[in-house]
Amino acid sequence: MKIIKPLFAILLLGLPAIAFAQGTQKLDINRIKKADTNHDGKITEPEMRTYRNTNFKQLDRNHDGFIDNKDIPRFAAERAVPAMNQMITVNDANHDGRLSRDEYANGRLVVFDLFDTNKDKVLDQAELKRAQEMPQAK
């Protein structure tokens, strides 16, 4: 269980906004707050991209240089495969059914964009507070 919670939380950072809008996915808002590398209480788009890049190794469990369903442990497949499929669909630039480090780190920041209500490419304290209060956030 120690593996699945961080794995699933990281996967959710790449999901389409529709999943959150429909309340079908949960998000640990504290995961997003970890992207604040300069600890100023705000998360910029570059900080979020850096955070995603550092999480690539956690998702690439078989160390083949790509993120795909082969990286999901069997015991977690039922819960994690739909999230992985959505993340790949949104970010797979070359449509090969898997994500390279570049595709993952530089792909769409769907969750970030959902919470960035004023579209200034920065999640400030007010936006993070609203995100935390959303029914699907935990």
| Tens digit of each residue's pLDDT (9 = 90 or more) over 94-138 | 999 999 999 999 999 988 898 999 999 999 999 998 888 776 544
| Exposure string for 36-49, b = 16+ CB within 10 A, e = fewer | beeeeeebbbebbb
The answer to whether the CB of 49 falls within 8 A of the CB of 35 is no
pLDDT tens track for 20-74: 444 444 556 777 888 999 999 999 999 999 998 988 988 899 999 999 999 988 8
**CA of 104: how far to CAs of 15, 20, 72, 85, 137, in Å?**
11, 19, 16, 13, 22
